[in-house]
Chain A
Amino acid sequence: MTLDPRAAMQAAISVPGVPRDSDGPVFREPWEAQAFAMTLALHERGVFTWPEWAAALAAEIKRAQAAGDPDTGETYYSHWLNTLEKLVAEKGVTTQDTLQRYRDAWDRACDRTPHGEPIELRKEDFA
């Protein structure tokens, strides 16, 4: 399998709730497509199966609903992103701490980058 629209369609069918049309998944914002594509890549590397992913995502959605998520579909990909962060840590791909460190580094990179220039990570962004 390769990272292609066919694999994406397969994923959209295998995971309940993925917003899609007849061609495959549809996204409301660019980051949603990025989160989806990374999940697809990890699946292809065998980090998890679709049933495993679907169960983790369902658990995340259930938790969110218990905490008052409106369950309108608007937040689907934010649950997706939470699941992705948790699952990569559980699978030992990385840790929550590492993700937090990189998130903070990107935040610093962003702050020091003038508007209109490419935002790039540098060593000094890691405090």
Chain B
Amino acid sequence: MPGHDHDHPHDHDHSELSETQLRVRALETVLTEKGYVDPAALDLLIETYEKKVGPRNGARVVAKAWADPVYRARLLKDGTPAIAAVGYAGRQGEHIVVLENTPKLHNMVVCTLCSCYPWPVLGLPPVWYKSAPYRSRAVADPRGVLADFGVTLPKDTEIRIWDSTAEIRYLVLPMRPEGTDGWSEEKLAELVTRDSMIGTGLPKAPKDLK
């Protein structure tokens, strides 16, 4: 990434923005203060492109784990090299931990507010994801937040919240939708949404595909 100044190790605990991100924020703040742009309108437009950003390697990783039990075991044991094997090599020192959803356990990732969101894996972060209220509410009332997203889980499913750090990013491995026996990895990947890899949504059902 041009102007990216983050080749140093992530060994400190403050937030990080690349040189480019600093310049973009500066522009947005100045233009907002002068009344040229409305941040809400910008976010709304950007949101329409959230599925158009980045390679979304995560969907391929999830689909492969659904289709291939050996890969699944590797992925859950040590996410970073297993994800690298499908073509995404993270930045140095960055570890991706894969969290497996089961009927008994639903994982949900909160944060991140700076450049630590793993967009090469997940695509563009949702706009609401960066908001402080989302993060604090997700911690206090995960079931309520999930309900806002239209997700209702069985009462006995435990919900676990994960907060990414500069060193550890998370990828949720959602449960494979029913009615997908014998599907190819390519077709399975179409069911994987970004929100299902954050844990704020579930994968699409076969009937949702065009």
Q: Which residues of A contact B (CB under 8 A)?
A: 3-5, 8, 21, 23-35, 37-38, 40-42, 45, 47, 74-75, 78, 81, 84-85, 88, 93-94, 98-100, 102-103, 105-107, 110-119, 121
Shortest Cβ distance from residue B116 to the other chain A in the assembled complex, whole angstroms? 7
Q: Cβ of B132: which chain A residues have Cβ within 8 Å of it? A: 117-118
A78–B20 contact, CB under 8 A? Answer: yes
20 inter-chain pairs at a CB distance below 8 angstroms, sorted by A residue, are A24-B52, A25-B49, A29-B1, A30-B119, A33-B53, A33-B124, A38-B24, A40-B45, A41-B38, A81-B27, A99-B23, A102-B26, A102-B29, A103-B22, A110-B17, A111-B14, A115-B165, A116-B15, A116-B163, A121-B29
Q: A3-B45, A103-B23, A116-B135 are in contact. List 18 more A-B contacts (CB 8 A).
A: A3-B42, A38-B28, A41-B41, A42-B31, A81-B27, A84-B27, A93-B36, A99-B26, A102-B26, A103-B25, A105-B26, A106-B26, A107-B22, A110-B15, A114-B14, A115-B13, A116-B111, A118-B132
Is B85 on the interface with A (CB-CB < 8 A)? no
Bound: A23/B49 CA distance, A:
10
Q: Cβ of B42: which chain A residues have Cβ within 8 Å of it? A: 3, 34, 37-38, 41
Is B69 on the interface with A (CB-CB < 8 A)? no
B46–A37 contact, CB under 8 A? Answer: yes
Which residue of chain B has the shortest Cβ distance to A69 in the bound complex? Answer: B2
B contact residues, total (Cβ < 8 Å): 51
Which residue of chain A has the shortest Cβ distance to B167 in the bound complex? Answer: A115
Shortest Cβ distance from residue B19 to the other chain A in the assembled complex, whole angstroms? 8
Bound: A42/B74 CA distance, A:
49
Instruction: Give the residue of A30, A38, A88 whose beta carbon is less than 8 angstroms from that of B125.
Output: A30
Shortest Cβ distance from residue A89 to the other chain B in the assembled complex, whole angstroms? 11
Bound: A103/B49 CA distance, A:
25
Bound: A45/B1 CA distance, A:
30
B112–A8 contact, CB under 8 A? Answer: no
Bound: A85/B23 CA distance, A:
9
**Residue among B2, B45, B125 having the largest count of chain A Cβ atoms under 10 Å:** B45
- When A27-B124, A33-B46, A119-B113 are in contact, do A38 and B20 touch as well, CB less than 8 Å? no
Bound: A32/B165 CA distance, A:
24
Instruction: Give the residue of A4, A32, A98, A102 whose beta carbon is less than 8 angstroms from that of B45.
Output: A4
Is B59 on the interface with A (CB-CB < 8 A)? no
Tell me the dominant secondary structure on chain A's binding face. Answer: helix
Is B3 on the interface with A (CB-CB < 8 A)? yes
Shortest Cβ distance from residue B117 to the other chain A in the assembled complex, whole angstroms? 8
B119–A29 contact, CB under 8 A? Answer: yes
- When A33-B49, A78-B20, A93-B34 are in contact, do A117 and B29 touch as well, CB less than 8 Å? no
Q: Cβ of B36: which chain A residues have Cβ within 8 Å of it? A: 41-42, 45, 47, 93
Bound: A103/B19 CA distance, A:
9
Instruction: Give the residue of B18, B28, B30, B119 whose beta carbon is less than 8 angstroms from that of A34.
Output: B28
Which residue of chain B has the shortest Cβ distance to A40 in the bound complex? Answer: B45
**Residue among B3, B31, B164 having the largest count of chain A Cβ atoms under 10 Å:** B31
